[in-house]
């Protein structure tokens, strides 16, 4: 009965309207090349400040789900991924559009995204409470080991291990600005009183992910606007659906599993799912030629990540990907601390998020199928109008939270930093999540050592602490080991070819 009472607010007209608006806005943001779901969530977090928690958070989740799905639109119509998560969709989506079947390709992407999202939402509702009950046993050493594990996963899965590690360490250094969490002594403020509590998190996110995209967009403005053909039709054939059944199921499960692992993300899930669908298909030669199962595999996987990435965020307080790292800012604005305690103190919000994830996925399907004929018009928005509008929202959103001019300097500074990082291949995701996990890492290390009187053996002797420290070592060692094994295989191959 309590669960039904917690779900009731979702069906108030204002909450439903917020979820619908968020999902539709995310779809448009994801469809436009250069604008990402991360940027959309970061940009609109300030709008949720005065909203009730369930309403504001579900609007952001709607932006997330709609944004990840929306990326397939430009992938299929323009051969330009709207978001990194939809890069693999280009392989079969664009050739299908070239055959005059763009509507069918978009319909398959919409259906696959919905199935993947619903499967992951069921797992979210079933698994997150179980993980949270285990996490209630955590003390300071366990939280330290968990935060360390989260940081190493992010660094090791950032494409370039060195650049990922540098980004993560820079994020930890930035998180040290402000008052010491134990003694309260000010650090690295350089006499600026506005930095006494550290960098304001939401303006930093807006700068890092939204303003940096504006700078990148301005670089691309010299290019000609694309010529997009009108889209007709929307439903894939029964034969397409039959051929895609295995890819849909496999992609949904792969996306859910990968979403649970912190720091991996939708892009990785879609590529793994595509490769598995092709490897297990009786007709692998059809992939890359405009084959519906290729679209089904990628879109079911990347949208399954959306709900699955909320599992570590809500249950453990560790973002599952970069969008949920930004979403963590929305939780903080509402005065909520994600983690196992939230299941005890705010069960209404937790159940509301579970239900809101289902509703956002359903709205994504409705809007996606209804707007397929109009998608070509969404992509025709001039880039210079987008750049100006986003920049205005960046400044208004950053200032509106605290009415503090220092937040504007923070936003611009992080915007320039994010632009340079993007330009030179450094991971903005690693920086962002390190800024979140850095204080958790430092505070629990020092608190745990104080509790054990600086006895490192006692600090690291708990079973959960040992488990996460072991996973940390494996996470750091695996990329190095895999590269070593790859070099050995290449050396053997060259030796055999020489002989």
pLDDT at residue 96 in the model: 78
Q: Give the confidence band of 289 by pLDDT, cuts at 50, 70, 90.
A: confident
pLDDT given at position 137: 66
23-42: average pLDDT = 77
Under a CB-based contact definition with an 8 Å cutoff, are residues 158 and 428 in contact?
A: no
Q: 34 by DSSP, 3-state: which?
A: coil
**Range in 141-145, 154-158, 161-165, 466-470 the model is least confident about:** 154-158
Q: Tell me, what's the pLDDT at 281? A: 74
pLDDT band at 386 (very low <50, low <70, confident <90, very high): low
Sorting pLDDT into bands at 50, 70 and 90, what band is 108?
confident
pLDDT value, residue 397: 67
Mean pLDDT for 390-401 is: 73
Lowest mean pLDDT among 393-397, 424-428, 471-475: 393-397
Q: Provide the 3-class DSSP secondary structure of residue 25.
A: helix
* Per-residue confidence (pLDDT) for residue 328, from 0 to 100: 78
Tens of pLDDT, residue by residue over 369-379, are 887 777 766 65
Q: How many CA atoms lie within 13 A of 323 on its CB side?
A: 36
Per-residue model confidence (pLDDT) at position 339: 73
Q: Which residue has the higher pLDDT, 210 or 175?
A: 175
Mean pLDDT in residue range 204-230? 67
pLDDT at residue 136 in the model: 60
Top-confidence residue, 201 or 145: 145
Residue 155: pLDDT above 70?
Answer: no
| pLDDT average, residue stretch 401-417 | 82
Handedness of CA 221, 227, 231, 237 (dihedral sign): negative
Q: Is pLDDT at 121 greater than 80 in this prediction?
A: yes
Is the pLDDT at 443 greater than 60, yes or no? yes
Q: Quickly count: other Cβ atoms within 10 Å of residue 118's Cβ.
A: 19
Mean of all residue pLDDT scores within the chain: 76
* Residue 223 predicted with pLDDT over 60: no
pLDDT at 318 over 60: yes
Residue 142 pLDDT more than 70?
Answer: yes
Which of 363-373 are b and which e, b meaning 16 or more Cβ less than 10 Å from the residue's Cβ? bbbebbeebbe
Q: Mean per-residue pLDDT for 361-368?
A: 87
Q: Is 265 exposed, middle or buried (0-12, 13-18, 19+ CB in 10 A)?
A: buried
Cα distance between residue 9 and residue 143, in whole Å: 33
Q: At 2, list the tokens.
A: 């309590």
Highest mean pLDDT among 16-30, 303-317, 478-492: 16-30
**Rounded to an integer, what distance in angstroms lies between the CA atom of residue 427 and that of residue 420?**
10
Task: Scan for tokens 């660094």, then name that residue.
Answer: 155
Could you give the CA distance from residue 237 to residue 108 in angstroms, rounded to a whole number? 9
Q: What is the pLDDT of residue 220?
A: 66
For residue 141, pLDDT over 80 is answered with yes
Q: Is pLDDT of 176 > 80? A: yes
pLDDT at 252 over 80: yes
pLDDT in tens, 44-99: 777 777 788 788 888 888 888 888 888 777 777 766 666 667 767 777 777 777 77
Lowest model confidence (mean pLDDT) among 6-10, 226-230, 325-329, 352-356:
226-230
pLDDT at 487 over 60: yes
What is the average per-residue pLDDT within 292-301?
83
């Amino acid at each position: 009965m309590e669960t039904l009472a917690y779900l009731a607010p979702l069906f108030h007209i204002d909450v439903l309207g917020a979820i619908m608006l968020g999902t539709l806005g995310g779809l448009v943001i994801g469809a436009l090349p250069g604008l990402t779901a991360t940027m959309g969530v970061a940009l609109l977090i300030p709008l949720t400040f005065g909203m009730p928690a369930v309403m504001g958070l579900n609007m952001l989740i709607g932006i997330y789900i709609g944004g990840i799905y929306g990326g397939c639109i430009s992938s299929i119509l323009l051969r330009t991924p709207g978001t990194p998560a939809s890069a693999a969709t280009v392989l079969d989506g664009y050739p299908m559009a070239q055959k005059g079947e763009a509507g069918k390709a978009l319909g398959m992407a919409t259906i696959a995204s919905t199935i993947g999202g619903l499967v992951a939402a069921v797992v979210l509702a079933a698994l997150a409470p179980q993980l949270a009950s285990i996490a209630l046993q955590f003390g300071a050493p366990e939280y330290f080991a968990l935060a360390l594990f989260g940081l190493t996963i992010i660094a090791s899965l950032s494409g370039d291990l060195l650049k990922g590690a540098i980004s993560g360490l820079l994020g930890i250094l930035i998180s040290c600005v402000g008052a010491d969490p134990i003694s309260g002594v000010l650090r690295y403020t350089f006499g600026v009183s506005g930095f006494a509590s550290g960098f304001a998190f939401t303006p930093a996110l807006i700068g890092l992910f939204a303003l940096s995209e504006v700078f990148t967009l301005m670089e691309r403005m010299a290019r000609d606007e694309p010529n997009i053909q009108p889209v007709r039709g929307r439903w894939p054939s029964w034969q397409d659906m039959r051929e895609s059944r295995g890819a849909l199921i496999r992609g949904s499960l792969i996306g859910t599993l990968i979403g649970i692992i912190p720091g991996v993300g939708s892009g990785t899930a879609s590529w793994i799912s595509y490769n598995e669908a092709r490897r297990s298909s009786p007709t692998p030669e059809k992939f890359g030629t405009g084959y519906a199962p290729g679209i089904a595999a990628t879109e079911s996987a990347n949208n399954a990540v959306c709900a699955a990435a909320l599992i570590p965020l809500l249950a453990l307080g560790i973002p599952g990907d970069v969008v949920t790292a930004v979403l963590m800012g929305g939780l903080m604005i509402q005065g909520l601390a994600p983690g196992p305690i939230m299941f005890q103190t705010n069960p209404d919000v937790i159940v509301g998020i579970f239900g809101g994830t289902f509703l956002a996925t359903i709205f994504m399907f409705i809007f996606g199928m209804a707007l397929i004929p109009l998608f070509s018009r969404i992509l025709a928005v001039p880039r210079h109008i987008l750049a100006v509008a986003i920049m205005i929202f960046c400044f208004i959103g950053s200032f509106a939270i605290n009415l503090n001019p220092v937040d504007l300097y923070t936003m611009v500074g992080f915007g320039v930093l994010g632009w340079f990082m993007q330009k030179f291949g450094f991971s903005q995701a690693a920086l962002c999540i390190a800024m979140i996990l850095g204080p958790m890492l430092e505070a629990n290390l020092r608190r745990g050592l104080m509790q054990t009187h600086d006895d490192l053996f006692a600090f690291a002797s708990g079973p959960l602490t040992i488990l996460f420290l072991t996973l940390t070592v494996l996470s750091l060692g695996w990329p190095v080991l895999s590269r070593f094994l790859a070099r050995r295989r290449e050396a053997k191959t060259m030796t055999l070819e020489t002989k």
